[in-house]
Amino acid sequence: MDVKKKIEALREKINRYDYEYHVLDAPTISDVDYDQLFRELLELEEAHPAYVSSSSPTQRVGGVVLDGFEKVEHTIPMLSLSNAFNADELKDFDRRVKKLVTDVDYVVEAKVDGLAASLRYEDGVLVKAATRGNGEVGEDITHNVKTIKSVPLKLNKAVSIEVRGEIFMTKAAFLRLNEAREKAQEPRFKNPRNAAAGSIRQLDSKVAAKRALDMFVYSIAEFDDDATASHSDVIDYLADLGFKTNPYQVCQSIDDVIEQCETIESTRHAFAYDIDGAVVKVNQRELYKRIGYTAKSPKWAIAFKFKAEEVITKMTDITFQVGRTGQITPVAILEPVEVQGSTVSRATLHNDGYIKSRDIRVGDDVLIKKAGDIIPEVVSVILERRNHQSRFVMIDKCPKCQSVLKRSDSEADLYCNNPSCPAKHLETLIHFASRRAMNIEGLGNRIIELFFNEGYVKTIPDIYRLHAHRDELITKANFGEKSITKLLDNIEASKQNSLELLLFGLGIRYVGQKVSKVLAKHFGSLFAMMDGSVETFTAIDEIGDKIAESLVQYFASESNQSMIEDLKNLGVNTEFKGIVSEGGAYDGKTFVLTGKLNDYTRDEARALIEAQGGKVTGSVSNKTDVVVAGEDAGSKKAKALDLGIEIWDETRFKERLS
């Protein structure tokens, strides 16, 4: 046997043994024999570097060290799920689905407490892995994902596919990691999720390789129009490709769903990994488009969250937080206590009505939990421990600017209406730079507060004037030269964001992410939008009177007009950069790209098609109009031939574009 064939045979054996051990949990070879095969392959590859492949199991050991993480734009957004906390809310979800479609069943899976990631394969080989990020843009973590033994570097079939899943750490691996960190006198991780998140974001892949990460894959990323298989079929297909998949249960009714969710909750501690709920999805994928989406989540799926852990601690004070809209939120100051893997010292009290209805008083022992497993809140008072505490009295003036607080007839919350309130300005700045808005990496809450208090940033345009203070920030604000250079580069890069991110970042009341995108796509530019009337806005689908009135009021303000003009003069983009089809050559046509194109990358070809109004999807179906087939086109081209779909080679693709 020649060297190349011997290397390929060893790879095939080791990949099979890895799959049996890490995916099937059914090893068929001893550790000693496995190590011997692995060493043999490693030595052969070192002696014959021309035969080294990125899909070789030897590439899992790590060794890639990055300077930083590159951004990855998701071709299809990675949405989060809305939550249900009890059986009634699951029934409400079922009723919402049944209003739109009738004949459905559901798939229920345990919800792994890890971090979402996307994997892209070209012709069966892993080429890119990315974090969820803000759902639109994540970070490239390919070098670390390649170290995860349950993630196939090469699939069982030479398909081009993008899949989504959850990276996690088992309880046993977590215990081993913390024991090792204790011996090395390093701080322990608080829980497996934090350990997994910290491991996958290591710049040195050797660190991730030692952390025994794992991954379940649970879906294929594709447009709804391509969704011909059921979700249960997709999971089975993913398993056939070589992925590790989570067990699932198909349920014919919502009552069966509730029973299955309760079964998973009652056995949660028997799982080898942490779970924090169950995921419920409509099984018929072809119905997803009809059921639809919100800005943040699909309407055809929901996460059933387990009952939150509740703990007792003492509330030592109540302070008041001023939001960017001026909303006043009472905050409980607590004696620090551990809740679901993190230390909690503050918890929301929502508003004065919430406090009075529960008769919460400073000095009480209180029961707290994490609402939705995220935001700590005070649930109730331990009355038998109360000792003559005074009743709560709500403030009537802003804690920051002392303006008299107002409450509208339709709302329970109090507001500071002073346009010059410094607390509102600070929260506005924090929101503008946040991940879901302008996504300025490195400009987090603490840094913005520092810049605000030092006088460097008082308004949104001041963010784009920070470069004028570069040398001063390095010395006075105690920033390193490399850190401030990277921050200023990130601020400069944010100028190129599309209009919907800027619009959401401005923090206009009632204008969320989805509405921002609808408005940006409709008007095309911020200045065109500024001339809109209530009637103009309400003529747009999804824009009601309340949003329209808020927009008109915001744009009528001279200070807001001046700020927007200032941003434009500073080079901030005010145009929509997405695709708006206006009768292009491919308007309404669906394309599939397969094989290697010599003159274009996949992303370039996709952009050219979309610029002409076409849509690019990941799989061939009866709804596909054209398959663009480059070199070494495989199963997609064959399927197109079977279905009688028009096929273009690269030459014809270029001719049609021109």
The set of catalytic residues is 111
What are the structure tokens assigned to 223, written together? 């447009």
The whole-angstrom separation of Cα 179 and Cα 246 is 28
What are the structure tokens assigned to 615, written together? 């849509």
Q: Is 132 helix (H, G, I), strand (E, B) or coil?
A: coil
613: left (phi over 0), alpha (psi -120 to 50) or beta: left
Q: Is 514 helix (H, G, I), strand (E, B) or coil?
A: helix
User: Please, are residues 242 and 152 in contact by the beta-carbon 8 Å criterion?
Assistant: yes
Residues 6+ apart with CB under 8 A from 480: 474
Cβ of 539: how many Cβ atoms within 10 Å? 12
Q: Which residues pair with 594 in a beta bridge?
A: 629
Closest CA to 556 of 540, 524, 533, 574: 533
Q: Which residues pair with 119 in a beta bridge?
A: 129, 163
The whole-angstrom separation of Cα 265 and Cα 275 is 9
Q: Is 445 helix (H, G, I), strand (E, B) or coil?
A: helix
The whole-angstrom separation of Cα 288 and Cα 285 is 5
Q: Which residue has the tokens 């103009």?
A: 536
What are the structure tokens assigned to 165, written together? 């899943």
Closest CA to 408 of 334, 328, 474, 514: 328
What are the structure tokens assigned to 393, written together? 């009295």
Length of the chain: 658
The whole-angstrom separation of Cα 171 and Cα 182 is 17
Diameter over CA atoms, the chain:
88
What are the structure tokens assigned to 231, written together? 């979700």
Closest CA to 61 of 205, 213, 243: 205
Q: Which residues pair with 591 in a beta bridge?
A: 616, 626
The whole-angstrom separation of Cα 142 and Cα 510 is 38
**Mapped to the 3 state alphabet, what secondary structure does 240-252 carry?**
HHCCCCCCEEEEC
User: Please, are residues 392 and 366 in contact by the beta-carbon 8 Å criterion?
Assistant: no
For the stretch 387-390, contacts whose Cβ atoms lie closer than 8 Å and that sit 24 or more positions apart, written own/partner, are: 387/363, 389/361, 389/362, 389/363, 389/364, 390/361, 390/362
